[in-house]
Chains A and B, each alone.
Chain A
Amino acid sequence: MSNKKARNIFITVCISPAIILFILFMVVPTVEVFRMSMYSWGGFSNTKEFVGFDNFKVLWNDAGFIQSFQNSVLLIVLVAMITIVFALFFAALLTKENLKGNNFFRIIFYIPNILSIVVIAGIFSAVYDPESGLLNSVFDIFSLESMKQMWLGNQSIVIYSVAGALVWQAIGYYMVMYMSSMASIPASYYEAASLEGAGKLKQFTSITLPLIWNNIRTTLTFYIISTINLSFLLVKAMTGGGPDGSTEVFLSYMYAQAYGNSTYGYGMAIGVVVFLFSFALAAIVSHITKRDVLEY
Chain B
Amino acid sequence: MEKKKGMRTETLFKLFIYVALFALAISIIIPVVWVFMASIKENKEFYGNPWSLPDGFYFQNFIEAFVEANMGDYLLNSVIVTTLSLLILLVVALPAAYVLSRFKFMGSGLLNSFVKAGLFINVSYIAVPIFLMLLGWDSGIKELLGEGLFLNNRFILALIYASTALPFTIFLLSSYFETLPADFEEAASIDGAGYFRTMFSVMLPMAAPSIIIVILFNFLLFWNEYILALTLMPAENKTLPVGLLNLMAAERAAVNYGPMYAGMVIVMLPTLILYIIVQKRLTQGMTVGGVKG
Contact = CB atoms under 8 A, between A and B. Distances in A.
B166 A18 contact: yes
B35 interface: yes
Contacts of A225: 120, 122
Interface stretch (A49-57, A103-111, A155-163): A103-111
A134 B31 contact: yes
B121 A30 contact: yes
Nearest to B271: A114
B28 A111 contact: yes
Contacts of B276: 107
A268 interface: yes
Interface string B250-293: 00000000001100100110011001100100110011001111
A177 B129 contact: no
Interface residues of A, number: 89
A226 to B, nearest CB: 9
A180 B286 contact: yes
Given A10-B195, A110-B282, A116 B128 contact: no
Contacts of B50: 132-134, 137
Given A22-B166, A26-B164, A90-B21, A109 B28 contact: yes
Contacts of A133: 50
A123 B35 contact: yes
A181 B38 CA distance: 39
A267 interface: yes
Interface residues of B, number: 91
A110 B162 CA distance: 25
A155 B211 CA distance: 46
Interface in B116-170: 118, 120-133, 159-160, 162-164, 166-167, 170
A36 B32 contact: no
Interface stretch (A65-73, A189-197, A251-259): A251-259
A36 B282 CA distance: 39
A101 B24 CA distance: 14
6 contacts: A19-B96, A32-B126, A33-B126, A107-B276, A126-B35, A181-B291
Interface of B: 13-14, 17-18, 20-21, 24-25, 27-32, 34-35, 38, 46-47, 49-51, 91-93, 95-96, 98-100, 103, 105, 111, 114-115, 118, 120-133, 159-160, 162-164, 166-167, 170, 194-196, 199, 220, 223-224, 226-227, 231, 240-241, 244-245, 248, 260-261, 264, 267-268, 271-272, 275-276, 279, 282-283, 286-287, 290-293
Sorted nearest first, the 9 A-B pairs with minimum C-beta distance are A18-B96, A116-B224, A14-B95, A29-B126, A29-B129, A25-B163, A10-B195, A180-B287, A32-B129
